[in-house]
Amino acid sequence: MGRKTLETVRRAAQKKWEALRHSDDPVLFFGAGSCGLAAGAAETRAAAADWLKAHGRTARLLDVGCIGPCYLEPLMDVQMPGRPRVSYFNVAAEHVDRILSGLFLETEIPRFHLAGHFSDADIEGVPRFFDLPMLKPQVRVVLRNCGLIDPDEIDHYIARDGYRAIEQCLAGPWEDVLDTVKRSGLRGRGGAGFPTWKKWSTCRATESDTRYLICNADEGDPGAFMDRSVIEGDPHAVLEGMLIAAYTIGASHGYVYIRAEYPLAIRRLKTAISQMQAYGLLGDDILGSGFSFDITIKEGAGAFVCGEETALIASIEGKRGMPRTRPPFPAVEGLRRKPTIINNVETLANLATIIRNGAEWYAQYGTETSKGTKTFSLVGKVRRTGLIEVPLGITLRQVIYDIGGGTFKAFKAVQSGGPSGGCLSAEFLDTPIDYENLAAAGSIMGSGGLIVVDADTCIVDMAKYFLTFTQQESCGKCVPCRVGTRHLVELLSNACRGRSEAGDLEKMEKLALTVKAGSLCALGGTAPNPVLSATKYFRQEFLEHMVNRRCPAAVCRDLVVYRIIPGKCTGCQRCVAVCPTKAITGPRSEVHNLDPEKCIKCRSCYEVCRFDAIAGDAIVIESV
């Protein structure tokens, strides 16, 4: 397709988009990302379809990606003819009737489970959706389309300025694109934060007949789902970014290396790629520019280490995903020994907007050294969980309290950077988030997982969790990583079981430094970070475990007991019914008895007492 035809396509796409926005039929949008579906979006949609049928009404039902506040899922937006789109939160199937009856049969907007509206004008008593406390401080560049457009519809993307940036790039020399990206200050969003333009120019400067571009969608950090959400919600933003990157570095073939655990994202990508092919945005002579590019999807087979560039390349080549020494860096010698650029999903998803709005526009956000915005998955013990995008330089406090609404119990720590990162204590809450500050504090930016924990979380247990993960995921090539992480897990497990010996803490710290120093790749090089930061900022908690054999957060199973508080127990027998080992006994209306010998600490009684029982909170878990 030539450039003229793209203009024709764009006009048609805009008509289609406007027709949807001002549709004569009601339109129902369902937040159907993996998170929405997990919360029950499919059931909500089915209930809405049933309601329409039962009431003889018609409407368009659309699945959209995740708009961000996952804790409000399932989200159902409704746009009645001539009225603005309004969003309803936590819409379970049983809520559908009340909401749709109100909208279809009455004139007032039902307030039941109403989150906000998407109109430019004010509606009395209804907040604007993007003014909700979780969304207001955000700046949406990467997420600009997520949750708003139908991700399976290339025309929606095109109508909202999609594929304008690549058109603009192809009209000039690749050097101009490189220069724009350089001036924007964009750094790799996968975690390490290497300047994107620098990597690109190394690749471009390497003589070769073939160059490759790989989109790294092997989002392996547990607790992080930014890439999944972006691909599910706006796949074309990533793919247009790939076109821009490929044009700049002179690549003729690209791969998306994506986790097999993300089936919906893979499906969305496949649809998007075939739509691009149909529009001539992939293949030979794209937009009549002479630039040719193709994309292949490679499904990862489940190995955390494959997020590492050289391991990822080995995996695409059909080998065990084991890292190799660098240099040569992949930008010089990568896939099939050709110069290869590996960019993270989010890095790529930024590109089109940077090109369209200009480098200066992008660089207005952020700090001196870290420009632009960054997506984070804000999860853990925070009230408002979900996917957010904020300008770099925002403080952890703003993210956790203003956006996240604070923690359930007293704030304890925030973990960034996944298994390679660290735990930061309350003294760092006013630290501005950027690459340098987080590194100086002993953590890393990482790909964007922010796990907030409160007083109910045990830091020793969490350190053990991360080390268990890296120990399992170590490829085994370097002895300090393979054996060292195993010993670290052992030392941490002993602490959690109250079996530590004198000197274990020092031994652990020394070993952690050895693993760091003696490993080839970033997995081993950063694996001890969770231990080192935790022992530094939460030393007292380690000593409690290792010396006093207590778990102050009452998490470590070997160090806690379950106990019934006689003054609170009403003898309702709910706990007796759920106890799998018959450890709890007692007749109705009398204080029950819990036999610690029989108790397997399964938590059933604790939960039933808290949520279902008459007394509530009569069973406590405590460390003695």
425-464 binders of another protein (CB under 8 A): 449, 451, 453, 457, 462
495 binds another protein (CB under 8 A): no
> Could you tell me how many residues of this chain bind another protein (CB under 8 A)?
85
Task: Give Cα separations from 450 to 225, 232, 398 (angstroms).
Answer: 11, 20, 13
The CA distance from 186 to 372, in Å, is 7
Q: Which two tokens stand for residue 410?
A: 């007293």
Query: Which of these ranges, 175-183, 384-392, 484-492, 535-543, lies near another protein under the rule CB under 8 A?
Result: 384-392
Q: How far is the CB of 527 from another protein (least distance, A)?
A: 14
The CA distance from 262 to 377, in Å, is 16
Query: Which of these ranges, 281-289, 351-359, 493-501, 603-611, lies near another protein under the rule CB under 8 A?
Result: 603-611
Residue 380 has φ and ψ, to the nearest 5°, of: 100, -140
Among positions 88-147, residues that touch another protein (CB under 8 A) are: 89-90, 92-94, 113, 115-116, 127-128, 131-134
Selected binder of another protein within 303, 394, 414, 594 (CB under 8 A): 303
Q: b vs e for 209-245, b when ≥16 Cβ sit within 10 Å of the residue's Cβ?
A: eebbbbbbbbbbbebbbbbbbbbbbbbbbbbbbbbbb
377 binds another protein (CB under 8 A): yes
**Packing angle between helix 235-249 and helix 174-184, nearest 10 degrees?**
120
Query: Is the CB of 165 or the CB of 303 nearer to another protein?
Result: 303
225 binds another protein (CB under 8 A): yes
| 268 contacts 234 by C-beta, under 8 angstroms | no
Q: What is the pattern of x (binds another protein, CB under 8 A) and - over residues 156-195?
A: ----------------------------------------
Query: Is the CB of 293 or the CB of 304 nearer to another protein?
Result: 304
Query: Which of these ranges, 217-225, 285-293, 532-540, 583-591, lies near another protein under the rule CB under 8 A?
Result: 217-225
228 binds another protein (CB under 8 A): yes
Q: How far is the CB of 35 from another protein (least distance, A)?
A: 5
Could you write out the three-class secondary structure of 334-380? CHHHCCEEEEEHHHHHHHHHHHHHCHHHHHCCECCCCECEEEEEEEE
301 binds another protein (CB under 8 A): yes
Q: Which two tokens stand for residue 271?
A: 């649809």
201 binds another protein (CB under 8 A): no
Q: Which two tokens stand for residue 107?
A: 């004139």
The CA distance from 129 to 148, in Å, is 12
Q: How far is the CB of 212 from another protein (least distance, A)?
A: 12
477 binds another protein (CB under 8 A): no
| E-only strand ranges, 109-233 | 114-117, 212-217
Selected binder of another protein within 18, 50, 285, 317 (CB under 8 A): 317
Instruction: Report the half-sphere exposure of 271 (CA within 13 A, side-chain side).
Output: 17
Selected binder of another protein within 465, 494, 498, 549 (CB under 8 A): 465
Query: Is the CB of 173 or the CB of 476 nearer to another protein?
Result: 476
Question: Residue 119: which residues within 8 A CB-CB, separation 6 or more?
Answer: 84, 85, 128
Query: Is the CB of 27 or the CB of 264 nearer to another protein?
Result: 264
The CA distance from 32 to 280, in Å, is 28
Selected binder of another protein within 6, 13, 20, 35 (CB under 8 A): 35
**CA 157 to mean position of chain CA atoms:** 22
| 420 contacts 443 by C-beta, under 8 angstroms | no
Q: How far is the CB of 283 from another protein (least distance, A)?
A: 21
Selected binder of another protein within 185, 191, 220, 391 (CB under 8 A): 220
Q: What is the pattern of x (binds another protein, CB under 8 A) and - over residues 325-364?
A: ----------------------------------------
Q: Which two tokens stand for residue 2?
A: 């030539």
Query: Is the CB of 133 or the CB of 432 nearer to another protein?
Result: 133
| 575 contacts 608 by C-beta, under 8 angstroms | yes
Among positions 552-581, residues that touch another protein (CB under 8 A) are: 578, 580
DSSP 32: -
Q: How far is the CB of 381 from another protein (least distance, A)?
A: 7
Among positions 394-423, residues that touch another protein (CB under 8 A) are: 405, 415, 418
Among positions 44-83, residues that touch another protein (CB under 8 A) are: 70-74
Q: Is 35 exposed, middle or buried (0-12, 13-18, 19+ CB in 10 A)?
A: buried
Selected binder of another protein within 183, 298, 324, 507 (CB under 8 A): 298
Could you write out the three-class secondary structure of 34-99? HHHHHHCHHHHHHHHHHHHHHCCCCCEEEEECCCCCHHHCCCEEEECCCCCEEEECCCCHHHHHHH
Q: How far is the CB of 387 from another protein (least distance, A)?
A: 7
Selected binder of another protein within 10, 140, 160, 384 (CB under 8 A): 384
611 binds another protein (CB under 8 A): yes
3 state SS of 205: helix
| 488 contacts 471 by C-beta, under 8 angstroms | yes
Query: Is the CB of 7 or the CB of 317 nearer to another protein?
Result: 317
**Packing angle between helix 235-249 and helix 263-278, nearest 10 degrees?**
60
Query: Is the CB of 393 or the CB of 404 nearer to another protein?
Result: 404
β-strand pairing of 593-594 with 422-425: unpaired
**Packing angle between helix 263-278 and helix 226-233, nearest 10 degrees?**
40
The CA distance from 392 to 434, in Å, is 6
Query: Which of these ranges, 22-30, 279-287, 316-324, 534-542, lies near another protein under the rule CB under 8 A?
Result: 316-324
Q: How far is the CB of 132 from another protein (least distance, A)?
A: 6
Query: Is the CB of 40 or the CB of 110 nearer to another protein?
Result: 40
Q: How far is the CB of 320 from another protein (least distance, A)?
A: 4
541 binds another protein (CB under 8 A): no
Selected binder of another protein within 12, 19, 38, 614 (CB under 8 A): 38
Selected binder of another protein within 198, 267, 487, 603 (CB under 8 A): 603
Q: How far is the CB of 369 from another protein (least distance, A)?
A: 27
Among positions 251-280, residues that touch another protein (CB under 8 A) are: 260-262
The CA distance from 21 to 119, in Å, is 11
Query: Is the CB of 154 or the CB of 316 nearer to another protein?
Result: 316
